[in-house]
């Protein structure tokens, strides 16, 4: 609960940090569209190469981007397994008989135990998992001595591998793009950029300034209310409450006793803030001034040119 | 003092979107599913706002909650329609729970509103799941072609998405109802409302 960092932004001073947030948002959206236009594995590889060049040029910490990929491991794995197991197009890369016998089941259990024991080395978890799968493959292929109970045929086609590679690399590009955006832009700047970009929505009765105001208030109050929640939880802990243990019913009761003060605090805070804003004559919809105005500079031109080049490139390879 | 109603609504939306983010965060510590979507009561503040200030403001609160999640965590973009549905539509429909009258004082409309909002969110999230899995799994898995006239791949996607989303939506909804009713019982959901009218 302590030292909670909400938000992705890390301070820095490279090229990406000085681009106007509006340019960045539009560029990321266009680049995503361009990525989804690509159709073959060579094209997405080229796109990934461009993304890597941009990351290195913008001195964005690659470790952070890899961290953002973590929740995707399972998805990537599923894709790989499905494509490899079920795609029946193209030439055969691998064709082997997998056998299951009492001996191989024993070996598989041993392999699983070893894998779980080593799982505490979190840094290599992916590598470990891959070697675990390879181990299972060889156990079933070569190490099953009689009596063989059953056997099945594992056939991998090259199109299956290519398709999963395509999907995975495309996903990597998309995640990289959105991570770079949130790593190098403060949430407040993003809000300001969105407000400016969504202004045309006024035509259909949606006021982007109101949205931006709500987001700013919300971003401002997340740490405050989180702090209050922490205090309440600590106060309850000092009286013996424990949020992590107990039966479900106890947990629900504890959450309620946390939420009652939190809601009251939230109502109180919002009333105070509304009063404060009104007493300073804040009227929604009236023009306001800012400390930092957004300005375009030469970097935005460079970004725009690169973005347009990428988009034209992917349209061209799609059409030709 | 004459109150400017609009400012109070704006501020309340902001603070309750913050509450939603925090509740999501606190519940995320306890348990989170791998593909996003966790058993959490983050929907509760959105429901409360839409009961207090009408479904229109509830929809805005939902949309902005989705937007703030994109700003704070790296968003989960697999395809563009999936992104819009998962991060905006799924949370916007929560606000529609506010169409019930007297939801702040009576338990039945309160629960019905949560049921409606959660069901709509469940539908949207499932459709989004179907759309994105359809892009990542080969649907022409040749053998077996008899389940509801869909191929095995297609039916696996549909059933999988419905099941996966039910896995967190159902407990979340029940938690929202139980905890929300407890809060309603203590009469803290209608604070500040009477003084303004």
Q: At A230, is the pLDDT very low, low, confident or very high (cuts 50, 70, 90)?
A: confident
pLDDT tens track for A141-166: 777 676 777 777 777 777 778 888 88
Out of B18, B36, B189, the one facing A218 most closely (by C-beta) is: B18
pLDDT tens track for B56-77: 889 999 999 998 888 777 677 7
A148 or B188: which leads in pLDDT: B188
CATH of the domain at B106: 1.10.1760.20
Please give the mean pLDDT across all residues of chain B.
79
Does B60 fall in a domain?
A: yes
Does B91 fall in a domain?
A: yes
pLDDT tens track for A4-47: 556 677 787 888 888 888 898 899 889 988 888 888 888 889 88
Are the beta carbons of A221 and B18 closer than 8 angstroms? yes
A148 or B97: which leads in pLDDT: B97
Q: Residue B107 region, left (φ>0) first, then alpha (ψ -120 to 50), else beta?
A: alpha
Sign (positive or negative) of CA dihedral A224, A229, A230, A232: positive
The mean pLDDT of A293-304, rounded to a whole number, is 83
Domain span at residue B60? 2-185
pLDDT tops 70 at residue A131: yes
Set of chain B residues whose Cβ sits within 8 Å of the Cβ of A245: none
Tally of domains in chain B: 1
Set of chain A residues whose Cβ sits within 8 Å of the Cβ of B73: 8
- Please give the Cα distance from A195 to A186 (Å, whole number): 14
Instruction: Assess A175–B contact: CB distance below 8 Å, yes or no.
Output: yes
Predicted confidence at residue B123, as pLDDT, reads 92
Q: What's this model's pTM, rounded to 2 decimal places?
A: 0.80
Q: Of the ranges A146-155, A202-211, A311-320, B139-148, which one carries the lowest mean pLDDT score?
A: B139-148
Contact residues, B window 7-26, toward A, CB-based 8 Å cutoff: 7-8, 10-19, 21-23, 25-26
**Which ipTM was obtained for this model?**
0.83
Residue from A274, A277, A285 to probe the interface with B (highest B Cβ count within 10 Å):
A274
Burial of A68 (0-12, 13-18, 19+ CB in 10 A): buried
Does B194 fall in a domain?
A: no
Residue B147 gets which letter from DSSP?
B
Predicted confidence at residue A194, as pLDDT, reads 86
Q: Which residues contact A312 (CB under 8 A, 6 or more apart)?
A: none
Out of A171, A225, A267, the one facing B18 most closely (by C-beta) is: A225
Contact B6 A83 (CB under 8 A): no
The mean pLDDT of A114-143, rounded to a whole number, is 77
Contact B34 A74 (CB under 8 A): yes
The mean pLDDT of A72-94, rounded to a whole number, is 72
Does B62 fall in a domain?
A: yes
Q: Of the ranges A199-213, A231-245, B28-42, which one carries the lowest mean pLDDT score?
A: B28-42
Q: How many contacts does A have with B, using Cβ atoms within 8 A?
A: 179
Instruction: Assess A46–B contact: CB distance below 8 Å, yes or no.
Output: no
DSSP H helical segments within chain A, as ranges?
21-37, 41-57, 62-69, 73-86, 102-118, 125-142, 158-184, 187-197, 208-238, 248-279, 298-319
Closest chain A residue by Cα to residue B36: A71
Closest chain A residue by Cα to residue B141: A86
Does B14 fall in a domain?
A: yes
The 3-state DSSP class for residue A125 equals: helix
Task: Work out the number of other CB atoms within 10 angstroms of the CB of residue B92.
Answer: 24
Contact B183 A4 (CB under 8 A): no
Set of chain B residues whose Cβ sits within 8 Å of the Cβ of A82: 136-138, 153
Does B196 fall in a domain?
A: no
Cα R_g (chain B), whole angstroms: 18
Closest chain A residue by Cα to residue B41: A255
Does B96 fall in a domain?
A: yes
Predicted confidence at residue B84, as pLDDT, reads 86
Task: Work out the number of other CB atoms within 10 angstroms of the CB of residue A255.
Answer: 21
Give the count of alpha carbons within 13 A of A238, CB side only. 5
Q: Which residues contact B144 (CB under 8 A, 6 or more apart)?
A: B151, B152
- Please give the Cα distance from A194 to A212 (Å, whole number): 8
Predicted confidence at residue A298, as pLDDT, reads 85
Out of B67, B74, B78, the one facing A179 most closely (by C-beta) is: B74
Angle in degrees, CA A136, A141, A146, rounded to 5:
110
Set of chain A residues whose Cβ sits within 8 Å of the Cβ of B151: none
Please give the mean pLDDT across all residues of chain A.
81
Closest chain B residue by Cα to residue A86: B141
Token look-up 């569209």 returns: A33
Closest by CA position to A63, among listed A178, A183, A143, A156? A183
Set of chain B residues whose Cβ sits within 8 Å of the Cβ of A71: 34-36, 76
Does B155 fall in a domain?
A: yes
Contact B14 A214 (CB under 8 A): yes
Instruction: Assess A174–B contact: CB distance below 8 Å, yes or no.
Output: yes
């Amino acid at each position: 609960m302590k030292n909670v960092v909400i938000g992705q932004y890390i301070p820095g001073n490279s090229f990406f940090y000085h681009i106007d947030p509006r340019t960045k948002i539009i560029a990321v959206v266009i680049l995503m569209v361009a990525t989804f236009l690509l159709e073959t594995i060579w094209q997405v590889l080229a796109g990934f190469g461009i993304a890597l060049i941009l990351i290195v040029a913008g001195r964005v910490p690659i470790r952070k981007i890899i961290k953002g990929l973590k929740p995707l491991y399972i998805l990537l794995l599923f894709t790989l397994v499905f494509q490899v197991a079920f795609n029946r197009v193209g030439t055969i890369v691998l064709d082997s008989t997998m056998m299951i016998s009492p001996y191989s089941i024993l070996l598989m259990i041993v392999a699983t135990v070893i894998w779980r024991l080593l799982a505490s080395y979190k840094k290599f978890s992916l590598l470990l998992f891959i070697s675990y799968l390879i181990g299972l493959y060889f156990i079933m292929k070569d190490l099953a001595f009689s009596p063989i109970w059953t056997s099945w045929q594992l056939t991998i086609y090259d199109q299956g591998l290519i398709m999963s590679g395509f999907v995975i690399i495309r996903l990597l590009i998309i995640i990289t793009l959105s991570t770079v955006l949130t790593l190098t832009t403060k949430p407040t700047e993003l809000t300001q950029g969105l407000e400016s970009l969504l202004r045309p929505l006024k035509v259909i009765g949606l006021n982007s300034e109101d949205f931006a105001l709500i987001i700013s208030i919300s971003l401002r109050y997340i740490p405050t209310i989180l702090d209050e929640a922490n205090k309440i939880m600590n106060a309850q802990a000092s009286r013996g409450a424990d949020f992590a243990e107990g039966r479900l019913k106890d947990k629900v009761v504890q959450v309620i006793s946390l939420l009652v003060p939190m809601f009251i605090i939230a109502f109180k805070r919002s009333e105070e803030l509304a009063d404060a804003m009104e007493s300073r004559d804040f009227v929604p919809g009236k023009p306001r001034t800012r400390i930092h105005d957004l300005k375009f500079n030469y970097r935005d031109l460079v970004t725009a040119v690169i973005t347009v080049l990428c988009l034209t490139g992917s349209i061209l390879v799609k059409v030709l | 003092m004459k109150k400017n109603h609009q400012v109070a609504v704006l501020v309340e939306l902001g603070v309750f979107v913050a509450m939603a983010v925090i509740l999501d965060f606190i519940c995320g510590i306890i348990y989170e599913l791998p593909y996003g979507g966790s058993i959490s009561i983050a929907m509760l503040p959105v429901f409360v706002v839409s009961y207090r200030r009408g479904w229109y403001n509830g929809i805005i609160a939902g949309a902005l909650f989705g937007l703030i999640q994109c700003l704070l965590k790296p968003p989960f973009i697999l395809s563009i329609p999936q992104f819009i549905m998962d991060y905006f539509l799924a949370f916007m429909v929560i606000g529609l729970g506010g169409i019930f009258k007297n939801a702040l004082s009576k338990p039945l409309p309160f629960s019905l509103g949560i049921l409606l909002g959660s069901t709509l969110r469940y539908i949207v999230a499932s459709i989004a799941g179907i759309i994105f899995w359809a892009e990542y799994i080969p649907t022409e898995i040749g053998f077996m072609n008899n389940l509801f006239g869909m191929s095995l791949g297609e039916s696996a996607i549909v059933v999988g998405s419905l099941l996966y989303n039910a896995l967190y939506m159902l407990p979340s909804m029940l938690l929202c109802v139980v905890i929300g009713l407890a809060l309603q019982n203590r009469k803290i959901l209608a604070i500040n409302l009477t003084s303004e009218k």
